[in-house]
Structure 1
Amino acid sequence: MRNETYTVVDGKGRVVELVDDYLALCTDREQSPNTLRARAFDLKTWLVFLQLLDVDLLAASPEHVDQFAGWLRRPIQPGRLRSADADGPAREPSTVNRALNSVYMFYGFLARRGVGMGAQLTHRRAAGIGDYGGFLAGIGEREVTRRPTRLKQVRRRPATLTDAEVQGILDACERLRDRLLMALMFETGCRIGQALGLRHEDINTDRRTLTLRPREDNANRARGKSHDPKEIPVRQALLDLYTDYLFAEYGELDCDYVFVNLWNGTVGTPMGYWAVMSLVKRLRRRAGIDFHPHLFRHTHATALLRAGVRLEVASELLTHRSVHTTADTYGHLDTDDLADELDRVGFRGSW
């Protein structure tokens, strides 16, 4: 199978060779199409910025990276004045940091070729308290790599749905297929790509499990981020819904995929991302709830941790590569969590 990839062209329609070489390396490393697309878009934006400054790609300096970060927050033509109270598009710090990271990685790639400013974009310092330790941590002196330009991000717990909102979305589903898809994402916390790539062979009704398998040959281009298969326990109610769906709507279709087009598009072919987003828009109108598919994952993950599920177990269920990903995304507590924990141990009851 040919891997999907991206490239970047200049204003005259010519491929930017250095960027193309880097994106080809990312493709060879089997980065997801979404990641490749984001890298390509970020580097295109970097090239636009350098063009405004009339600076060549290989002549860029760390100072230009600093200017790039500010320009991403408040785009303005070089040499132009801008009113201090003027409204305008401002990218979030997380978006700016993603673009900066793409630039850092690109110049790190060039540094291995002996060109560009890659070596100037990082500096090393002695490891301190709070730095992540690797396998040999503590055996000898450690250093960590720091990138000088990075915007401060406010850590927020991802938005979640209430039980009533989840039920409202499920009740708004007029088809069993749609209800199964929404219920699956809520109950397992799987990504939409993992759900769309699900095959009938992945569902084990005897063990009451489903297996999320990474596949790169999905006809609907669905992909999950995990690299290894993961068997996830599910409730019998979800399996009953799956059985009802097979008998009432799926019928005699000859298809390996669980979620297929039944009323729109080519009947019997796997559902794609656009079909799901069209469904989500209809459900938003019917339920009066503003949501997106990934909100089910955030809701599931938060519910696991609030129920006292150990972090490493939650990480496995969410198919994260590392428990640190789970901790960074969901591990911090909000005020309600802190109050609930104090009530649980009886600390506030004596006041």
Structure 2
Amino acid sequence: MAFWFARVFTASGFQMLTVAIGWHMYSLTGSVLDLGLVGLVEFMPKILFILFTGHVADRFDRRRVAAICQAAQGLVALALLLGSSTGTVTREMIFVIAFLLGSARAFEMPTTQALLPNIVPAGLFPKAVAAAASAMQSATIVAPAIGGLLYALGAGWVYGPSVVLYALALSLMLSLPSRQRPLKQKVSMESLLAGFRFIRSRADIFGAISMDMFAVLLGGATALLPVFAKDILLTGPWGLGLLRSAPAVGALLMSFWLARFPIERKVGPVMFTAVAIFGVATIGFGLSTSLWFSLATLVVLGAADMISMVIRGAFVQLQTPDEMRGRVGAVNGLFIGASNQLGEFRAGVTAAWIGTVPAVVAGGVGAIVITGLWVKLFPTLAHRDRMHEAPVP
């Protein structure tokens, strides 16, 4: 439970920060391109530190590494609190903050992913992935809505509670038991690149994470939610909070279902169908002019994405030896970051070029096209029956 609550608190802090930073930037500049640039800057550390993040997770105590990352994110929230209280937050400061936030999360993601298999047995791992995902989605439902409401009172009302949430997450993470087998191999280029080689040598793993990357890279519209809230759906910060929460509602409901009824057969066809539904829901959201219909499409989108995430996350971890999970998780995190943060940059640039609605609709079409292409490129993944076909090494 300590791990579950630690994930809830850190996810809540991040979601509240994301809502506040997005609205803060759009209020300062009114530029959709700047919203995309925030996502790009946050993604850059995943590329810059990719060779080190996974190695750190495998070589050092994962609990302590995660706690340090959460402390760093708490300091970022504290800096924004002080800046907003003195009126010194600028466009440039937000970019610096986004880079620091991205750096901390670049190390935190592979560390916490690799930590979960040390806590639960392999037989229960698919259910544990769904349960851990439900923690994230619970936070993603409540935190953005709270963040949007608090921002209406002032930016400091969002940043202050974020500091407290990160402090709570830090203390819970340090209370977890340690069952890790630390990496004893010396640091070398071979050890640093081991995660890339491992993923590339497993066609199904490579196909799953690359399909998710390209589908969300093209179909993601998170960075444009402030534009939809303010200019298309004619709502305010509270509406933005609801929009950011809606995908998590669908994801949370689906995670509860998957924790109770895990997918054990036909995992490949189920995952491909879920990605296609993600694309269709994205198109529906892009064409909507109703807040309530937009929320409904985002709920469907979130549920479909959760199915894909749980299947991908479970069999990647189950097929990876413990001493390599950090490095493999770092590469997986790079793919996820490319789909999310780089996808936000893609959305901002495309919206500035062809308009907000066409950019989202085109992205949804792109996600559907990617699904069809990956059926041809990775036929064994498309027809995969079980989550794991061999014992964990």
TM exceeding 0.5: no
With the shorter chain as reference, the TM-score category is: under 0.3
Pair member with larger Rg: 1
Scaled by the length of structure 2, what TM-score is found? 0.23
Query: Normalization by structure 1: what TM-score?
Result: 0.25
Larger relative contact order, structure 1 or 2 (CA cutoff 8 Å, min sep 6) = 2
User: Which has more helix, going by share of residues?
Assistant: 2
